A and B are shown apart, each in its own frame.
Chain A
Amino acid sequence: MNLQIAADINSFLAAFVLLTAFAMLVQKRIYSLIHLFAWQGLLLSLNTAIVGYVANKHHLYISSVLTLSLKVFVLPYILHVLVVRLKIRREVETLVNIPMTMLIGLALVIFSYHLMAPVSELSTLITRSTLAIALATVMIGLLMMITRKHAVTQIIGFLAMENGLFFAATSATYGMPLVVELGVALDVLIAAFIFGIFFFHINTTFESLDVDQMARLKEED
């Protein structure tokens, strides 16, 4: 496999990471959201393995396997259990309508392209063109956290942001040092557990996970 083909596959996977980010942004059903999150993890893991092969960095294989196990199996499983236990059945509500959200997302992609264009010019890595995509994935995750009312979907948005950051690290510098990556992976796992526990508490206190309910913290007269 020569470098050009590897770079093409890398771009192709990056494009599909962006596509899954958009799909998550507009998806209304919570189970489909979790599936899309797992798919994004799978694409990231494949991409990391290919970058590891091209750059001849063996620690990237470890982080690829880590991504595969954590983001494709463990985290979606935890979220799934959470959704089943909390009996979340209805469709996710959005604050802004779907076509408008798409347009904002597109504007964010253009913005991150402009922001990253000088950086990509300076870089000599084979993955330099995917930097803008990585930043766009982070921004779209943030947008998802802003436009959703439901706490579980906000967490999925947060995890999608983390995916984007991981992707940015891979494409900007061929990945962070292994120690940092292990630490981040552990953090995300612990965060998911804590989210789960907190959601149960929030759910029993407010009888809802709609964050609008949490704006009123004082007791009603």
Chain B
Amino acid sequence: MVLAENASWIFRFTPYLVFGTVIFAGAVVPILSINLPLALSADVIVLVGMFAISRFFTALAGMDIGTAFGGMGSSREMMVASLAEPAMLMAIFTVSLINKSTSLSHIADVMYGGHMLLKPSLAFAFIAFVLITLAETGRIPVDNPSTHLELTMLHEAMILEYSGRHLALIEWAGMMKLFLFMALGSALFYPWGIAKTEGPVEILFATVVILTKLAGSGIVLVLIETGLAKMRLFRLTEFLGTAFLMATLGMLSFFILE
């Protein structure tokens, strides 16, 4: 493992923090079962806050070693974050308003039994959520996760100086973040098939269902990534503005129409 000479504790601490927040998020998002031991400790707003902390420290670490790429990546990532987070919170507020709770387990429980097919607010919130997922997990058209040493990179530019186990942890956390966003989308918008009790049969069934949903989300992601080109950085405001518009329209149509 190579470490820059002037790297401070922030640089060494960040990979573990990023990995830790993702582990915590994984304990809060209902992936297989609604009954989670940690569900009461954190609701969906805390979840957004955890992702924000990990992003904050990644940006600090990018600037910590003082390379040009690191600072550039940090500033770009913060620009995307400042636009994506309000939209994310708006989409989540819309779902919370419909289900009258911010607890993820409770939302999944209500959505499971509700008659939610013809709700325009949910449709808008879902479109916004998909756009934000693309931005938050750094996929095309916002960022390209497979670029390395290019001028257009966002997330990769911040972690350019990492190597060895630090890099492994950050990359692993990035993969898990994508997985968690897909699972979060499933829990918020289409939780059908999730286990309500801890019986082995239910858990097994829920595992099969979540794997199917993940495969479906993966196919959609592949279609989006092959169908679109990466956007110019200055057009991202329009992309994320659209996400914010969708989320706000969802909330407004909840008040106006439902």
- Contact, CB under 8 Å: A109 / B120: no
Contact A129-B120, Cβ < 8 Å, known A98-B238, A102-B241, A106-B248: no
Query: How many residues does chain B have at the interface if contact means C-beta atoms less than 8 Å apart?
Result: 20
- Contact, CB under 8 Å: A15 / B245: no
- Contact, CB under 8 Å: A22 / B120: no
In the assembly, what is the distance between CA of A26 and CA of B243, in Å? 13
Rounded to whole Å, the gap between the CB of A172 and the closest CB of chain B is: 15
- Contact, CB under 8 Å: B257 / A129: yes
A3-44 contacts to B, CB under 8 A, are 5, 8-9, 11-12, 14-16, 18-19, 22, 26
Rounded to whole Å, the gap between the CB of A93 and the closest CB of chain B is: 15
- Contact, CB under 8 Å: A133 / B256: yes
Q: Which residues of A contact B253 (CB under 8 A)?
A: 11, 15, 18, 133
Contact A109-B252, Cβ < 8 Å, known A8-B118, A11-B258, A22-B245: yes
Question: Is A132 engaged at the interface, CB distance under 8 Å to the other chain?
Answer: yes
Q: Which residue of B lies closest to A16 (CB)?
A: B120
Per-residue interface assignment for chain B, residues 216 to 258, with 1 indicating a CB less than 8 Å from any chain A CB and 0 otherwise: 0000000000000000000001100110110011001101111
Q: Which residue of A lies closest to B250 (CB)?
A: A15
Q: Which residue of A lies closest to B252 (CB)?
A: A109
In the assembly, what is the distance between CA of A36 and CA of B234, in Å? 25
Q: Which residue of B lies closest to A11 (CB)?
A: B257
Q: Which of B120, B241, B248, B249 contacts A98 (CB 8 A)?
A: B241
Q: Which residue of A lies closest to B117 (CB)?
A: A8
Q: Which residue of A lies closest to B235 (CB)?
A: A98
Q: Which residue of B lies closest to A18 (CB)?
A: B249
- Contact, CB under 8 Å: B124 / A15: yes
- Contact, CB under 8 Å: A130 / B252: no
Q: Which residues of A contact B257 (CB under 8 A)?
A: 11, 14-15, 129-130, 133
A164-190 contacts to B, CB under 8 A, are none
Rounded to whole Å, the gap between the CB of A85 and the closest CB of chain B is: 31
Q: Per DSSP, are chain A's interface residues mostly helix, strand or loop, or mixed?
A: helix
- Contact, CB under 8 Å: A19 / B249: yes
Q: Which residue of A lies closest to B257 (CB)?
A: A11
B91-136 contacts to A, CB under 8 A, are 118-121, 123-124
- Contact, CB under 8 Å: A15 / B123: yes
Q: Which residues of A contact B249 (CB under 8 A)?
A: 15, 18-19, 22, 106, 109
In the assembly, what is the distance between CA of A106 and CA of B120, in Å? 16
Question: Is A118 engaged at the interface, CB distance under 8 Å to the other chain?
Answer: no
Q: Which residue of B lies closest to A116 (CB)?
A: B256
Q: Which residues of B contact A105 (CB under 8 A)?
A: 245
In the assembly, what is the distance between CA of A164 and CA of B223, in Å? 35
In the assembly, what is the distance between CA of A5 and CA of B248, in Å? 25
In the assembly, what is the distance between CA of A12 and CA of B119, in Å? 7
B136-188 contacts to A, CB under 8 A, are none
Per-residue interface assignment for chain A, residues 83 to 98, with 1 indicating a CB less than 8 Å from any chain B CB and 0 otherwise: 0000000000000001
In the assembly, what is the distance between CA of A99 and CA of B244, in Å? 10
- Contact, CB under 8 Å: A113 / B237: no
Rounded to whole Å, the gap between the CB of B104 and the closest CB of chain A is: 25
Question: Is A110 engaged at the interface, CB distance under 8 Å to the other chain?
Answer: yes
Q: Which of B118, B124, B245, B256 contacts A102 (CB 8 A)?
A: B245
- Contact, CB under 8 Å: B248 / A99: no
Residues of A whose CB lies within 8 Å of any CB of B are 5, 8-9, 11-12, 14-16, 18-19, 22, 26, 98-99, 102, 105-106, 109-110, 113, 129-130, 132-133
Closest 4 CB pairs of A and B: A15-B120, A99-B241, A11-B257, A8-B118
